[in-house]
Structure formats: structure tokens, C-alpha cells
């Protein structure tokens, strides 16, 4: 028992108290020991009680289901029971005289607690320790050590009790391994990768400083090119075996326990984390070596497979960066490798990364910006080439960004389409434009002008655009004939029927439909006769042909373009469509387009985009040109 005192009748050896042995009772110590007669004196009764106590202790000690041992003040084993001996792969007779550190791992922090117990500063301690099995087998025990004191209260000996927890410990180790390793390839998984990455950025990181006195870190993101084709053509079982082979080659060639971790992040994407890197050159050499290693053919399931890889490379000082920064930039750089042609490595470029970061920032802020009212609409007049009168105005959205100022559409419309923010933004532009067109109609009823609003394909797919337009027209009071919706040629002439159905429903309400940037897509004029289209807007690249004449090959090319435009205008008119030319920059262009029969035009020659007052001023004053 903890803190237990042993009486002064204990045996002595050389004047020093001796711990009682479980197998050595007090037999022979009293006059009735041999005859078995009842004790007559108090001393005899005490001796009998001691013998009975020791007998019970001996039985409990020897027959206990857990390991037990008595340790003297010199850390030597006095006695151990059979279970304890079996845990150590030894016989009971071998245990007496062994030092405790010969049988139980002495590593800290439990070692210091044990020394405190031996000095009498505590009565009990518990720890989970590795036992030293004679055969080298891994054995773990939950160890409880209790201090036994003598009659004076001083440390006498210790009682060690050990419960075998090897199976539980091994199960825990297996579960921990599974939690940190990919089940297919056995490589460290994303969780372990991030643990190591976070550790590398801690101030007390184990990797010493590189040259120059600063700790550096590097990361290679590796993605197999065309891996999906393997799954699709040969099956996922072959794809899985290929991943296992790739992982084995990467681990064998590039894993370094001290400073390089090879991990599978998911799918066909791997990472090599280099802690304590020496600079950019080390990482670029590593990236080149990774690609070379993966270019060697793989023999998988009877197939000889050749793969290439794209690698994104980031290397920088630890100070001034974060794990999130490193992973984000590695992911961006991998994307650059893919977009630049694949089968290559790309080193992170700060300027290119800053541009992408700006794109990400803008994409994230788009939806909140719509709610905060950060967008404005400017209008560029559509001018009749025959008389110079304003026929309408194209609505062009601008973003009045609080940090970057007034942004043109090409800075954020592609991001809005990718993120889906084009749907709420498009609704807002539609309503604002129709509201403004209604104000022009109220102010100048004798000169009605239409408003032309761009419609993104995703607005058709992700919203009920027909209902949206009907609701806006009803709220603003704008006649349907004064609204023109522009959609790109490629979206309108694609294989799906949904855009056509939506546009047909809109056309049935009286809304005009125009194909924007005509000439950059299918340019199938015959197909147009079956579409709900009212107008074509010629792409500005065709209008360049109507600039001043040029000699030689340029002149012949421009003459050919001019003939093409003339033919498109004639055929469009034959189909009952009007034609608008975009990008008019001078009077010569305007005149030559008028001569081809083009109906309307827009461009800086007439007016740059401006606020609603621009159109109102034109309507109030006079025709343009």
C-alpha cells in the first residue's frame, strides 16, 4: 500500500532492514511453529498474524493476473512474479538482482518522477513504459509504482505492478499510422504533410539555418499529366496500380527522413516538402529530377505505361511566409505548369502570383460588391450610319472597387462567369439599365432608344432568365421592344437546346436578341435563319479592314476582309437582321461601313462610354456626326 509502514520486527542483514520476500514468511519465529498449537502469548499471536498476512500477500503476488515485482532502494529486483517474468521473456529465478533499468525503459519524463518516488517525495506514480523483452519483442506496460516505507516513515522498497497493454498500444499505433498515411500508396497523407509543414514554420523548427543564417523551405507540387486517360481506357484498378508504382519511385528516390517528405495529397497529386533547403537551385534540380524519374516507363498489370508530370516549385525563407502562403503559391505554380503546356516544372514568380492573387481577391469580393452597390453602368451610343441619329445605347458595367478604383469589364466579368457571381450581377445590370432606359423614354418620348444589355451564358443556365426579364420589364415599365439582349455567338450556336429555348421565349415577348462579337465563332449565317435573332454585332477585328488603305499583303488582306463584311451585311439583311459595327475609330471607317449597308455603329469616334447623362445630352441636342 502507498505510504505503508513496515514494523520494526523485520529481519536485518548486517544491521540494514531487509524487505520481506513474498516467499519468505515468519515460519520458525515462534515457539509453536513446529507443533501448530495455538499461540499463548501476545508475541505468538502477532507472529501468527504476520505469517497469515505474508501468506496472503505471497498468494496475491504469485497468482496475480498482472506483473508484479519488489524493488529495493538500490533499484535492484528483490522478487518478481510469473506474469512479470513472462512479459520479459524470462524465468522467475532470473529476476532477483536485475537492475530496474534492465527491464523497464528509463527514458524521461517518467525517470525523474521515479527518482522522486525513491527519495520519498511522492508515494505513487503511473506511466506507460516499454519493457525490455529478452527476445527483442515489443512489449508495453501500464506501470504503477508504489512506495513502501519502514517503521520510521523512510523509503524502504517499491512495489511495481505492470499491466500488459501491448495489443492496445499496437492497435493505437496502427490507427495512428492509418490516420496519417494514404491507404493505397502508404505514403504520408495530406494530414501528415500539413503537420510537418506547420512544424517547419515553428520558431524552434529542427532544421538549422541555411547559408546566410536564415531557415528556408521548399515545396514541389507534382501532378501526373493525362492520368484520367489511364483510368478511362484501362480501368481504375490499373490506375491505382500506377499510382502505387509512382509513389514507390518517388519515395525511393526522394524521401529523406531528415529533411524531405514525399506525400500523396490526393488523386494523382503528390508533394515533396524540403525543410532546410539551400536555395532556388536545389528545388529546381529536385523538380527536374522528379520529372526525369517519372518519365521512365512503368510496368503495370501487363501494360507498359509512360507518364509525364507537371511540377510547381516554391522556395523561400521561412521568415515572412506562412504554410498557407507556401501551399497556395505551390498550387498556383502547378496550375501555371499545366496551362503553359504540361510536362514541365515552373518556379514561382512573384509578379505572376500577385496578378493571380488579385484575381482571387476580386473573385471573392464580387458577390458582396453587388450587395454593397459598388457597380455602376456606363452607356455607349449606338448610332445610325444613315443619319447619325442615336438608335440605342449599350450598357457597360464598371466596378468602382474601393482599393483598385474603377475597373473595366474585362477585369472582372470572366471571374464573375467562373464563380457564378455573374447571375446576381447580371440581374442588377439588367434592372439598372431598364430603369435608365425608361427615364430616357419619359424624358424624350419622341425619340425612343433601346438599351442593349449583355447576357452571359451562365445567366441562362443558372437562372430563369425569361422570368427575370419579365419581372424587370414590369417593375421598370420599359416596353419590351426597347430592350435588346446580347449573347455571344458561341453560346447561342452551341449544341445545347436550352439557350435557344430561353431566347425564343424572350423573343416571343418582343425583346430583341443580338449576337455579339459575330465572326469569332461558328459564323454560320444559314443557321441564323432558324434562330430568334434580330441583330448581328460585327466583331471589331473585322472593322480594322475599313481603316486607311495599306500597301502590299496588308492591303490585300484588308480588301478581302472588307468584302467579307459586305457579304455578311447583305446576307444578314436578306435574313431580316440589322447589323451593328463595333470599334469605329474614325470617319473613314464610318463612311465605308455605311457604303456596305451596315445599319448602326458604335465606338470612340462617336463617344466613349459615359454616364446616363451622356445619352440624355445627345438626345436633347442633335444627332452625332
Does 624 fall in a domain?
Answer: no
Mean pLDDT of 55-79: 86
Question: Which region among 127-141, 270-284, 610-624 has the lowest average model confidence (pLDDT)?
Answer: 610-624
Cα 231 vs. chain centroid, distance in angstroms? 23
Domain closes at, from 136, 169, 202: 169
Query: Is residue 353 situated within a structural domain?
Result: no
Residues 179-232 have pLDDT tens digits of: 999 999 999 999 999 999 999 999 865 554 444 458 999 999 999 998 999 998
Reading the block at residue 2, the C-alpha cell is 502507498
Residues 325 and 383 in one domain: no
Domain end call among 169, 196, 217: 169
| 282 band by pLDDT with thresholds 50, 70 and 90 | very high
Residue at 354 is within a domain? no
Please say if the pLDDT value at position 289 is more than 80: yes
Whichever domain contains 523, its CATH number is 3.20.20.450
Assess contact for 61 and 96: CB atoms under 8 A.
no
Q: Are residues 443 and 525 in the same domain?
A: yes
Query: Which CATH number does the domain housing residue 145 bear?
Result: 3.30.450.20
Query: For the chain, what is the mean pLDDT?
Result: 86
Let me know if residue 174 belongs to a domain. no
pLDDT over 90, % of the chain: 59
Report d(CA 236, CA 230) in Å as an integer.
Answer: 8
One domain for residues 368 and 440:
yes
Higher pLDDT, 108 or 409: 409
Both 307 and 439 in a single domain? no
- Per the structure, the complete domain to which residue 199 belongs is given by 185-348
Q: Is residue 625 part of a domain?
A: no
Query: Are both 487 and 513 inside the same structural domain?
Result: yes
pLDDT at 258: 79
Whether the pLDDT of residue 468 is over 90: the answer is yes
Nearest to 401 by CA among 359, 447, 437, 365: 365
SS3 at position 310: strand
- Same domain for 557 and 412: yes
Q: Are 374 and 336 in the same domain? A: no
Residues 6+ positions from 590 with CB-CB distance below 8 Å: 385, 584, 601, 605, 625
Q: pLDDT tens for residues 424-455?
A: 999 999 999 999 999 999 999 999 999 999 99
In a domain, 178, yes or no: no
Whether 271 maps to a domain, the answer reads yes
What pLDDT does residue 31 have?
Answer: 44
What does the pLDDT average to over 70-93?
93
Which residue, among 321, 330, 208, has the nearest Cα to 269 in the 3D structure?
330
338 and 445 in a single domain? The answer is: no
Q: Compute the half-sphere exposure of residue 625: CA atoms within 13 Å on the CB side of its CA.
A: 26
Q: Do residues 307 and 390 both lie within one domain? A: no
User: Is the domain of 335 the same as that of 371?
Assistant: no
Residue where one domain finishes, among candidates 348, 372, 389: 348
- Euclidean distance between CA atoms 575 and 528, whole angstroms: 8
- Residues contacting residue 174 through CB under 8 Å, at least 6 positions apart: none
Examine the domain organization and report whether 12 and 81 are in the same domain.
yes
Indicate whether 304 and 441 sit together in one domain: no
Q: Is residue 270 part of a domain?
A: yes
Q: What is the CATH number of the domain that holds 316?
A: 3.30.70.270
Structural domains in the chain (count): 3
**Cα–Cα dist 468/474, whole Å:** 10
Q: Find cell 541555411 and name the residue.
A: 210
Amino acid at each position: 500500500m502507498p505510504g505503508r509502514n513496515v514494523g520494526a520486527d523485520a529481519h536485518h542483514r548486517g544491521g540494514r532492514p531487509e524487505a520481506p520476500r513474498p516467499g519468505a514468511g515468519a515460519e520458525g519465529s515462534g515457539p509453536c511453529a513446529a507443533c501448530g498449537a495455538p499461540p499463548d502469548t501476545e508475541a505468538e499471536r502477532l507472529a501468527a498474524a504476520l505469517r497469515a498476512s505474508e501468506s496472503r500477500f505471497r498468494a496475491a503476488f504469485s497468482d496475480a493476473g498482472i506483473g508484479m515485482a519488489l524493488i529495493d532502494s538500490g533499484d535492484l529486483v528483490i522478487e518478481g512474479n510469473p506474469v512479470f517474468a513472462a512479459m520479459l521473456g524470462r524465468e522467475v529465478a532470473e529476476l532477483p538482482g536485475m537492475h530496474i533499468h534492465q527491464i523497464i525503459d528509463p527514458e524521461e519524463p517518467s525517470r525523474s518522477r521515479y527518482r522522486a518516488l525513491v527519495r520519498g517525495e511522492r508515494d505513487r506514480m503511473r506511466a506507460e513504459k516499454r519493457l525490455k523483452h529478452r527476445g527483442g519483442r515489443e512489449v508495453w506496460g501500464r506501470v504503477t509504482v508504489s512506495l513502501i516505507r519502514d517503521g520510521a516513515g523512510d523509503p524502504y522498497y517499491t512495489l511495481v505492478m505492470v499491466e500488459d497493454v501491448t495489443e492496445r498500444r499496437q492497435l493505437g499505433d496502427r490507427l495512428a499510422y492509418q490516420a496519417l498515411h494514404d491507404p493505397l500508396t502508404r505514403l504520408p497523407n495530406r494530414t501528415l504533410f500539413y503537420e510537418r509543414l506547420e512544424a517547419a514554420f515553428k520558431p524552434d523548427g529542427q532544421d538549422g539555418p541555411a547559408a546566410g543564417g536564415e531557415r528556408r523551405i521548399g515545396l514541389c507540387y507534382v501532378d501526373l499529366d493525362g492520368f484520367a486517360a489511364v483510368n478511362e481506357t484501362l480501368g481504375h484498378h490499373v490506375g491505382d496500380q500506377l499510382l502505387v508504382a509512382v509513389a514507390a519511385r518517388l519515395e525511393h528516390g526522394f524521401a529523406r527522413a531528415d529533411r524531405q517528405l514525399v506525400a500523396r495529397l490526393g488523386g494523382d497529386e503528390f508533394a515533396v516538402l524540403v525543410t532546410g533547403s539551400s536555395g532556388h537551385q536545389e528545388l529546381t534540380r529536385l523538380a527536374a529530377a522528379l520529372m526525369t524519374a517519372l518519365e521512365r516507363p512503368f510496368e503495370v498489370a501487363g501494360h507498359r505505361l509512360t507518364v509525364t508530370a507537371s511540377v510547381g516549385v516554391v522556395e523561400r525563407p521561412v521568415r515572412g511566409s506562412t504554410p498557407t502562403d507556401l501551399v497556395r503559391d505551390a498550387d498556383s505554380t502547378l496550375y501555371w505548369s499545366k496551362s503553359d503546356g504540361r510536362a514541365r516544372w515552373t518556379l514561382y514568380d512573384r509578379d505572376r502570383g500577385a496578378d493571380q492573387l488579385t484575381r482571387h481577391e476580386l473573385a471573392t469580393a464580387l458577390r458582396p460588391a453587388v450587395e454593397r452597390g459598388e457597380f455602376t453602368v456606363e452607356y455607349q451610343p449606338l448610332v445610325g450610319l444613315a443619319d447619325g441619329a442615336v438608335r440605342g445605347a449599350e450598357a457597360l458595367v464598371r466596378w468602382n472597387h474601393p482599393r483598385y478604383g474603377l475597373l473595366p469589364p474585362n477585369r472582372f466579368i470572366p471571374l464573375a462567369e467562373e464563380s457564378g457571381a455573374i447571375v446576381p450581377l447580371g440581374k442588377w445590370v439588367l434592372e439598372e439599365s431598364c430603369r435608365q432606359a425608361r427615364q430616357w423614354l419619359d424624358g424624350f418620348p419622341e425619340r425612343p432608344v433601346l438599351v442593349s444589355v449583355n447576357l452571359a451564358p451562365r445567366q441562362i443556365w443558372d437562372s430563369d432568365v425569361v422570368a427575370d426579364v419579365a419581372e424587370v420589364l414590369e417593375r421598370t415599365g420599359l416596353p419590351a421592344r426597347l430592350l435588346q439582349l446580347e449573347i455571344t455567338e458561341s453560346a447561342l450556336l452551341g449544341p445545347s437546346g436550352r439557350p435557344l429555348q430561353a431566347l425564343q421565349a424572350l423573343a416571343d415577348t418582343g425583346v430583341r436578341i443580338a449576337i455579339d462579337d459575330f465572326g469569332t465563332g461558328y459564323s454560320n449565317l444559314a443557321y441564323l435563319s432558324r434562330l430568334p435573332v434580330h441583330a448581328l454585332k460585327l466583331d471589331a477585328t473585322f472593322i480594322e479592314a475599313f481603316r486607311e488603305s495599306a500597301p502590299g499583303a496588308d492591303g490585300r488582306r484588308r480588301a478581302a476582309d472588307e468584302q467579307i463584311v459586305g457579304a455578311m451585311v447583305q446576307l444578314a439583311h436578306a435574313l431580316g437582321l440589322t447589323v451593328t459595327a463595333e470599334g469605329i475609330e474614325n470617319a473613314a471607317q464610318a463612311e465605308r461601313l455605311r457604303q456596305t449597308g451596315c445599319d448602326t455603329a458604335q465606338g470612340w469616334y462617336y463617344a466613349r462610354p459615359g454616364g446616363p447623362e451622356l445619352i440624355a445630352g445627345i438626345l436633347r441636342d442633335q444627332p452625332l456626326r
